[in-house]
Structure 1
Amino acid sequence: MSRSSARRGRGQTEPLAALVAVATIGLAVGLYGGYLTGVLGETTDRTPESVAIDRVWDDVSENGVFTAIGGNDGAIRNRVRIDSLPEGKTVHVTITTVDDGEKHVIDHARFHADGTVRDPTFVGDPPADTGVATRPVPVELEPGDVRGGTLRVEVWSQ
């Protein structure tokens, strides 16, 4: 056997052993990733108001639009499910539009931590440390008249 052929044999691995090693490493990385997902998946950087605004929008919108045809008094109060709101917090929900430069409240409601719902007009203002989330939403004021609006959710402890 020549020296050049002897050198080629060094450092080579059996194909079956290489496949087993790669599969073992892949399995280990997958198990570790699954473990981390389970441990870290329960933590979140989302605030109560950012979670609440998504859930409230799901409750009050119909096909991605808030319908306020005919005034629709109490739409928020009647559509928002209590389990959509942060537990133990007071939540104030408002939908507004702007017409000719003036802001108009289309509907609003206040949900207290004890589960009661009140008209925000007759209760005090929220505290200064209130968490606030807003998002633009389409609002249908009359059949075929859809305008830009704002959904505002305020959340605080009481």
Structure 2
Amino acid sequence: MSFSWTREGRERGQASPLAALVALFAVCTGVSIYVVALGGTAALGDDRTYADPTLHRVSEELADGGVADPSALGTAQSAAPDGRRLNVTLTAGDRRWTAGPTPPNGTPTDAASRTTSVRFGPGSVVPGRLRVAVWR
């Protein structure tokens, strides 16, 4: 930092031009990073997917030790995201269990599914598929 004298004889601080340019560059870079990060979150808006995290929560509600229990399907509605409707379908073999309203035709839905083991009865476990559909 260089110093200059005023008429009254006191020192007055001045920044070198290089230090001022480096500080300006740092501020501009920080603002640019902030705008890019903010733009990335604003772009999510209403287009984000709800099905994958909802499928995970429903699977945790239904499964005990990794095996889904069809009788617990009614509790799966508590996993619905706020402001959204949820349909849960569990299929195994030729059997099918459903909880929640049916998605209306023409309404955009977000859906996800995964394979899971399904308990048919004591000691009877068969492969099946768990599917969720989420819509507004």
Distance 1:125 1:95 in 2: 15
Residues 83-94 of structure 1 aligned to structure 2 (within 5 Å): 84-94=79-89
Alignment of 1:33-112 (within 5 A): 47-68=49-70, 72=71, 75-77=72-74, 79-80=75-76, 82=78, 84-98=79-93, 103-105=94-96, 107-110=97-100
Greater per-residue strand proportion: 2
Q: Once superposed, what is the RMSD of the aligned Cα atoms?
A: 2.8
TM-fit CA distance, 1:91: 0.4
Structure 1 segments of 4 or more deviating over 4 A? Answer: 43-46
* Residues 50 and 57 (structure 1), Cα distance of their counterparts in 2 relative to 1, 3 Å cut: same
In percent, how many aligned pairs have the same letter?
33
Number of equivalent positions:
97
TM-score between both structures, scaled by the size of structure 2: 0.59
Gap runs ≥5 in structure 2: 1-33
Pick which of 46-55 and 146-155 moved more.
46-55
Question: Quick one: distance in 2 between partners of 1:135 and 1:151?
Answer: 5
Q: CA deviation at 1:85?
A: 1.7
Counterpart of 1:144 in structure 2 is 123
TM-score by length of 1: 0.52
Greater relative CO, 1 or 2 (CA 8 Å, sep 6+): 1
